[in-house]
Structure 1
């Protein structure tokens, strides 16, 4: 149970940091940040493997890069939909 809570906290922090890095806001607030962080960690793990510091099943650097990629794609899609 406690590892699940850590998973949500680290996912939220990674999603928030990725949003700050590219200057885009994720729709959905904190829930959007958590989802972006968790999915971004999965994408980063698939693309870049497992390297760097690890916190609660997250390899921080690939997870952060994956979250940045995910947020960039989401912001591009929302921008295209609003035209």
Structure 2
């Protein structure tokens, strides 16, 4: 139970930091930040491995970089979709 709560809190924190690093806004507020945190943790671990401190199942530094990359790519996709309509 505590592990799940810590994982969710870390995902929100990582997603919020990743959103702050990229000057675009992640839609969805807290839920969007949580999704960006989980996606960033997954993407960061694939691209950079799992080095640095691990909290709640997240390698923190690669997860933050992965979340920033995820938010950036989502912003690019959003802009492209808005221009095509």
**Counterpart of 1:20?**
20
Query: Which has the larger Rg?
Result: 2
Shift of 1:23: 1.3
List, as ranges, runs of 4+ consecutive aligned residues in structure 1 with deviation greater than 4 Å: none
Q: TM-score, normalising length from structure 1?
A: 0.96
**Other-structure match for 1:5:** 5
1:9-51 per-residue CA deviation (whole Å, 9 max, x = no partner) reads 0000100001111111111110000000011101100111010
Mind listing any 5+ residue stretches in structure 2 that lack a counterpart?
Answer: none
Mapped to 2, the partners of 1:35 and 1:6 lie a distance apart of 15
Name the counterpart of 2:48. 48
Q: Which runs of 5+ in 1 are unaligned?
A: none
